[in-house]
Structure 1
């Protein structure tokens, strides 16, 4: 016995079953009808299949199920079947359909032959979803001359696809259907629970419940780990249901969400850096509990959300009138330096620069010229943007920005080989940092100046600068271990060139101190470099076992990463063993 409750009410289905089984006269009252069915099925062998079961409609479903011990019932629905478990049911969540099953389904539903490439595109596009497979069959039926492009483009408004999605939404609670339309405003590749909380302005538990309900209805795909995605066929139909005023509010919430999240990420991975958007940083630091458990947790969030950020940035750029673009670029600086996703970074930074120009915001303009210069494809462009950045900060009278731009400009001068101009820029930047009381910034300029002095052959002066920079960075209220270790590495390189016995002892001490710091921050490449330096020291004094041990440590650290230095260290190990 089969009943589709999307097109028949339960009593009509039940009357049809009883008539087909030989009952010509049926009671009028519903209760009597249900009692007759229970009595009749008690000694029969029947399979009852109830399709498109309404959400949580126990009163409609239970009376249709047979009662006999040799009977079975299958209830099919997109959502809301969990309450049947209390009545002895077993809930089965169906996995995505296999590609060959999707192919058979579409072929069965379409009333004309479909070419292989087009059918293949329809199958791939369905991603195992019965709903999307059926919707693709609708598209193929509507247009016998379909092409593969049809399955990547937006369906026409008012099409049968939209009608079908509307029908599914009509069976959902009004709040859930409205939430689906709001969530569809997000242009990114996936939705997280935390983003849904922001867009719907609700609690995590309620947001998760709504996302799960939409996933059960196949309007979203559950990607795992608290992430969900709408299919490209479904997404436009959901978006069409959102009112313009709702879209405006959701865009504002999107901007607020990603502005604060990127700020929180930046604080987690670089608590020392100054920002133009200090307002967002202040909000993050006032929030309890902390946004990210660790720097690695924050970086992982950035890896997941970068495609979403880029999609939101493009949308906001088209809408205009919001400072969101340069604000997010402000907080992405350290992440971009660490992960180096250059292609999306260039697009994001260019969008931020255009927004800053539109606002005529000199601080934002100085920041964005710095950012664009940092990912410039050539040295000349990088230097030009650094000069524009310095000019904007000076016009704004912002000394911290001036100091930062001078640092960037010094790096551009050094890259082009103009060591004299680079040293001048770093000296001026250090002076401003010191005047502003920013010890970390001054220490970083001291290290960069020491690198210039080393390039110029002023080794003792460079060594003193590295040691002083290292000391200041570790004496900060929150020590910057990573940058301090970079100062150690600079001191080691200089000490090697000086080569005096007392310097060698200092060098070994610095290596071991640097190793400790590198282990604290988990910097594998720094550790490997320092072990290589210890191997050089051991080789210089004829300590073969010490050299071999240090090289082995360096090789074991780098080998799992596939770093190019692994080959060089392996060759040195082989040479040491031969000796």
Structure 2
């Protein structure tokens, strides 16, 4: 168990009373950003889904409460894992326990669906803890990128709170551990699998079995609430037996009957009995008896709702917004979404986003397989894919208009995009929000017969990866994109995946691997006679050698690139080569050369309209002047760069500019201003990737020097 060095408050009382499960409610994490870090951190989240009634779980709830009381007495946090069959009521039990504790835990409630059954794989812990941190008031600029840093910040922010946490549908103990809060808080984990690995964390393991017949009949009686169970007790018993005692199956069957107040229970029994062979066979495998109950709910849907249900079962990701629904149907679907939500077949995740319960999604996909023609399924998936590709490409254009967008391949039908406006940060936020779906599309595209989409969508994600440093995803999508480009025999696409993917490898610290990718692209360009493409790889190869500490080799490659790129018609790329030359010269102490090259790069990039890289060049030129102790031109250069980079949501480059401004302030004796610049730079560095942690530590050391003590 994990000990805590703090006192504790004893909480007495036990959860009592018979109750009936009315359903399992899932929901996304909702957060609201307010101005001011202190105000954000003071906000109290109340994220638990609504309390649902359960039956025949008194023994289990008593056991959970005994565990909590014991850990509180011993000074440990309470951690419990509730496991069992899908639809058995794990979430309902956890909610009953945690809701009862909430009055004694005023710090709030956190909730996350960890998506063990998601077709795209379980939720990544870094994404989940990132959402928790945003809920607790951490801004995007304050957000660390590395999982370890996010988890540490999360534990720090929760150490002094009194809160309860529900981690729903977990896949593994490793997925759960980074999401455990600090302090003496209470965490419940639900999973379809037993999780012995959590025992080392002081976890109490509780396994739920299906309801006994009488408890299931009680659930059915409360669900109907109209006297039919009392009037037809034997039929009610037969019905819940056909549902195998699973609360979800009983609830769905009861809801179907409740919608038909004149229908006898016998009618529902006959309907299930007619599929008894299938129902009993599927019940052996666990959750599939729920499929029979869902079939009955599905059959009662209006045609337009049934079609949307089927088609959204084809969606590659686990959660979707209304724009992709409109794209899938090629029409407004708000009323139909409401019908599916009211039928408990779709969960409202907030912010006009929805998701299926995992079993319901499988059921929807099976209905699409059964009832939609193959060409209709392909066309619907293509409309979804085109929506994501077109919107991501638009986001790419907004954030990085200088990125050389390669041609995109769309289907024959009109493409419907989400409205992103013109704000760069908003476009980046959309890319980050949809990143799980975009990755799911990339992995789905090639098997589905759309291989070009895989590399094109990976290409569209360039500005997100460059600005917000999702390095693991960067590597994964470019690997899949490269495979797709190779399958197509598209050498231009292969080279783009190699060069863009190689930059991601540099960020991951895999410099030799990056160099191999750049050299492979160079050979491909050379073989195909593409002189411009080959010249561009000189720049990339130089970056790899620079990261490997081979500054002489890097300088030679950058010098060649600076000459050959303008000769091939790309003055902008030549300006980038001069920028890289200046960086190497500054590192080698060649200050006059660094100043000359940085100034030339600044002029060229401004003339080319590449304001992002022009701002980078201005910062480097300012650093070169600082190194030469020429302070007069520095402030104007750095202030201009800072304004540009902030407007582009380029946090890492903004931080580097702030560091240079801090140095300038120190040279002028403005110690307080220097500290302010360093503090802001540290916040930005901490929000970027793990590969930039050395930069964060360097800034931290400067702050410690100025303040005379270590900086947290």
Q: TM-score, normalised by structure 1?
A: 0.68
For residues 395 and 278 of structure 1, what CA distance do their matches in structure 2 show? Answer: 25
Shift of residue 329 of structure 1? 1.2
Question: Does 2:335 correspond to 1:369?
Answer: no
Q: Secondary structure at the match of 2:632?
A: helix
* Alpha-carbon displacement from aligned partner over 1:257-290 (angstroms, at most 9, x marks no partner): 222122111111100011333677xx99x99997
Q: Secondary structure at the match of 1:275?
A: coil
For residues 534 and 527 of structure 1, what CA distance do their matches in structure 2 show? Answer: 11
For residues 375 and 527 of structure 1, what CA distance do their matches in structure 2 show? Answer: 20
Which residue of structure 2 aligns with residue 41 of structure 1? none
For residues 530 and 178 of structure 1, what CA distance do their matches in structure 2 show? Answer: 53
* Alpha-carbon displacement from aligned partner over 1:308-333 (angstroms, at most 9, x marks no partner): 12222222333455211111111112
CA 1:163–1:378 in structure 2 vs 1: closer, same or farther (change >3 Å)? Answer: same
CA contact (8 A) 2:615 2:645 kept: yes
> Which residues in structure 2 correspond to 1:214-293 (within 5 Å)?
214-242=340-368, 243=372, 244-277=374-407, 291-293=420-422
Q: Secondary structure at the match of 1:228?
A: strand
Question: Does 2:503 correspond to 1:550?
Answer: no
Q: Secondary structure at the match of 1:422?
A: helix
Question: Does 2:575 correspond to 1:435?
Answer: no
CA contact (8 A) 1:276 1:363 kept: no
CA 1:104–1:316 in structure 2 vs 1: closer, same or farther (change >3 Å)? Answer: farther
For residues 323 and 154 of structure 1, what CA distance do their matches in structure 2 show? Answer: 41
CA 1:182–1:488 in structure 2 vs 1: closer, same or farther (change >3 Å)? Answer: same
Shift of residue 301 of structure 1? 1.0
Which residue of structure 1 aligns with residue 196 of structure 2? none
Which residue of structure 2 aligns with residue 19 of structure 1? none
Which residue of structure 1 aligns with residue 546 of structure 2? 414
Gaps of 5+ in 1: 1-94, 108-114, 145-152
Which of 374, 381, 392 is 2:513 aligned to?
Answer: 381
For residues 474 and 426 of structure 1, what CA distance do their matches in structure 2 show? Answer: 20
Which of 606, 611, 618 is 1:488 aligned to?
Answer: 618
For residues 155 and 436 of structure 1, what CA distance do their matches in structure 2 show? Answer: 68
Shift of residue 223 of structure 1? 0.3
* Alpha-carbon displacement from aligned partner over 1:511-549 (angstroms, at most 9, x marks no partner): 344344345445566555445434434544xx43x2333
CA 1:516–1:193 in structure 2 vs 1: closer, same or farther (change >3 Å)? Answer: closer
For residues 431 and 362 of structure 2, what CA distance do their matches in structure 1 show? Answer: 27
For residues 485 and 234 of structure 1, what CA distance do their matches in structure 2 show? Answer: 50
**RMSD of the alignment, in Å?**
4.1
Which of 182, 187, 203 is 2:311 aligned to?
Answer: 182
Which residue of structure 2 aligns with residue 341 of structure 1? 470
CA 1:180–1:270 in structure 2 vs 1: closer, same or farther (change >3 Å)? Answer: same
For residues 231 and 348 of structure 1, what CA distance do their matches in structure 2 show? Answer: 26
Q: TM-score, normalised by structure 2?
A: 0.56
For residues 576 and 433 of structure 2, what CA distance do their matches in structure 1 show? Answer: 31
CA 1:567–1:417 in structure 2 vs 1: closer, same or farther (change >3 Å)? Answer: closer
Shift of residue 373 of structure 1? 2.3
Shift of residue 442 of structure 1? 2.1
CA 1:233–1:354 in structure 2 vs 1: closer, same or farther (change >3 Å)? Answer: same
For residues 139 and 444 of structure 1, what CA distance do their matches in structure 2 show? Answer: 71
Question: Number of residue pairs matched?
Answer: 453
For residues 328 and 457 of structure 2, what CA distance do their matches in structure 1 show? Answer: 18
Shift of residue 181 of structure 1? 0.3
For residues 154 and 441 of structure 1, what CA distance do their matches in structure 2 show? Answer: 63
Task: Kindly indicate whether structure 1 or structure 2 has the higher relative contact order, using CA contacts under 8 Å at least 6 residues apart.
Answer: 2
Which of 594, 614, 618 is 1:462 aligned to?
Answer: 594
* Alpha-carbon displacement from aligned partner over 1:60-92 (angstroms, at most 9, x marks no partner): xxxxxxxxxxxxxxxxxxxxxxxxxxxxxxxxx
